Structure 1
Amino acid sequence: MSKNFLSELTGSFATPALENPTGVMMEAAYRDLGLDWRYINCEIQPNDLANAVLGAKAMNWCGFNCSIPHKVSVISHLDDLGESARIIGAVNTVVNRDGKLIGENTDGRGFVESVKSSLELTKKRVVLFGAGGAARAVAVELALAGVAHITIVNRNQERGEELSKLVADNTSAGAEYHAWTKQYQIPADTDLVINVTSIGLYPNVDAELDIDTDSIKSSMVVADGIFNPPETRLIQTAKTKGCTTVNGLGMLVQQGAIAFEYWTGKTPSIEVMKTALSDALDITDLDSTDLESTEK
């Protein structure tokens, strides 16, 4: 009886890639289901993205994730897009379907899954910082989940206005752009505050959003898409205000689980993925650091 020494390949294309622990949790989930699959974390510069995609296709990778700064630019190198990725205009998961590379987006769905245990999203008001690929995904999926209004706060006016128009034109939620030219004051009627910028991402862990922290109220749920470190300055500040907080680890696990299903057709163990992350990031209890949420 012959043995099969050919592993199925998946991975991630990003820069920087150093701080990304996705491979640890994905390979743990592969092992848990007895799959001979690998997840390779790759540092890919923007000018090398086209060749990287061609290489993955030539090597018959089953798929790969795209992170900063490739979520929008990768689209021109793919064969087609799934429905949510087409609306969002950004891709974080690529699936090899019969030799064709199809772009999907699990960022927003992963975020909604991670936050909805802390907040019933229907008719809520959201302030979202950022207008890049991940922000687009989160905004669209929140709107589809039933939030009433999203305020997009971003330095770049063109991108901010584009995202607010995208939400307003494609969903039933209201949306508007607010310029981020000075310290931002969060409106008192806000239910959910979200950071989907890279401010505070390792290694710049001391970087803080330019917001008036006095405008953060205990009634608000505060979420950060950053997973490394698990507790950004924003999350730390929100905790001191008595807020319910949700960090980027929840989004990471949930979007990873959706990608896992796209690639393998199987459902991974969320608990196995959580445990692998806790070991990789030296966290003794992921639940206490908001993998799902921390209730006030």
Structure 2
Amino acid sequence: MTNYKSELVGVFGHPVAENPTIVMQEAAFRDLELDWRYLTIEVKPDQLEDAVKGLRALNMKGINLTIPHKIEVMKYLDEIAPDAALIGAVNTVRREGDKLIGENTDGKGFVRSLVEASINPDGKSMVILGAGGAARAIAVEMALAGASDITVVNRSEEKGAALAELIDQKTAASAKFVAWNKAYQIPDGTDILVNATSIGLFPHVEAFPDIDYNHLTAATIVCDVIPNPPDTIFLQEARKKGCETINGLGMLVYQGTIGFKMWTGADASADVMKAALTKAFGT
């Protein structure tokens, strides 16, 4: 009988049959012929502490986390990476010896998607629509990557102002909050515009952010964090104005490759991951 050991990583949260992270991570395992498995594990909020103990007992290499666990899990880990502590949430846990270390890969994935498109964040002026988890991670990582100023546009003043204050006080970037109570007009000199909301996400593909599209110019790079559909109406409208656009597949793929490296020590193929996602989304 041949004995073998399958390494495990997983996601704690709400299982989704066609979870895109499973699709791309499993594709990368197969591509590198790694005997690893990526599992979805439903964990209720009152079971999170026990689940982390189980992660330790099973010697799992790491996990991703979905809402509502991204903040609560921090109290059960041994260390929190400095940028994740600044963001105030963890979406990835990696094992280092006996230690469990909390990381946040979302913003890193976004920054890498820009770099891969030959866009240097250093000195850039950015407007970000939204102030939720994705927006928070992107704003922090862009500030740490050298963005000069960040405008947070959000309907909730409490969340939007809090994010702008965090960036302004804890990073070298300057930041301000603008209430999103009407069609937002993109300021002149904006280098990067990011939709970090769920507006336009499948199945609500006809929705798009309420901004003044007539004020967009080709000088602004327009990004959407939504991976499905990759080509949102938001991006289509931006291209009509001559803007370079970056879709949400890049952020999803590159945060996946970063997590993959943390767990396995190997470099996943971004092309393999992206092809798997494209097939899964039917695009």
1:172 positional shift: 1.4
The amino acid that maps onto 1:234 is F
Asked whether the 8 Å contact 1:222–1:243 carries over to 2, the reply is yes
1:211-250 aligned at under 5 Å gives the runs: 211-250=211-250
* Contact 1:91-1:133 within 8 A present in 2 as well: no
Change over 3 Å in CA distance of 1:18–1:196 after alignment to 2: farther
Which residue of structure 1 lines up, in the alignment, with residue 79 of structure 2? Answer: 80
8 Å CA contact 1:85, 1:105 repeated in 2: yes
2:204 aligns with: 204
Q: 156-165 or 36-45, which moves further after superposition?
A: 36-45
In structure 2, the CA distance between the partners of 1:7 and 1:247, relative to structure 1 (3 Å rule), is same
1:123 maps to what in 2? 123
CA distance in 2 between partners of 1:119 and 1:98 (Å): 36
Identical residues among aligned pairs (%): 52
**Is the Cα–Cα contact under 8 Å of residues 15 and 40 in structure 2 kept in the other structure?**
no
How much has 1:47 moved relative to structure 2?
Answer: 5.4
CA drift at 1:272: 2.0
Structure 2 SS opposite 1:185: coil
Which residue of structure 2 lines up, in the alignment, with residue 286 of structure 1?
none
Matched residue count:
282
The farther-off stretch of 44-53 and 135-144 is 44-53
Q: 2:258 corresponds to which letter in structure 1?
A: I
CA deviation digits over 1:153-205, x for unaligned, max 9? 11221221221121122221110111112222211221110011222222222
Which residue in 1 is equivalent to 2:99?
100
Contact 1:30 1:36 in 2 (8 A): yes
Mind listing any 5+ residue stretches in structure 1 that lack a counterpart?
Answer: 284-296
Against the structure 1 CA distance between its residues 35 and 184, is the aligned structure 2 distance closer, same or farther, given a 3 Å change threshold? same
Question: Structure 2 length as normaliser, TM-score?
Answer: 0.90
- Cα distance in structure 1, aligned partners of 2:55 and 2:231: 34
Q: 1:19 to 1:203 in 2, by over 3 A?
A: farther
Structure 1 counterpart of 2:149: 149
Could you tell me which residue of structure 2 aligns to residue 169 of structure 1?
A: 169
* Residue 26 (1) aligns with residue 31 (2): no
1:89 aligns with 2:88: yes
Q: Offset at 1:260?
A: 0.6
Distance in 2 separating the partners of 1:248 and 1:272: 16
User: 1:188 & 1:239 partners in 2: Cα distance?
Assistant: 17
Give the stretch that moved more between structures: 125-134 or 251-260. Answer: 125-134
Structure 2 unmatched ranges of 5 or more:
none
Moved more, 129-138 or 35-44: 35-44
SS of the equivalent of 1:178 reads strand
- Distance verdict in 2 for CA 1:24–1:191, change over 3 Å: same
8 Å CA contact 2:235, 2:247 repeated in 1: yes
Distance in 1 separating the partners of 2:71 and 2:36:
27
Is residue 2:132 matched to residue 1:132? yes
Per-residue Cα deviation, 1:65-92 (whole angstroms, up to 9, x for no partner): 1234443333234332112111221211
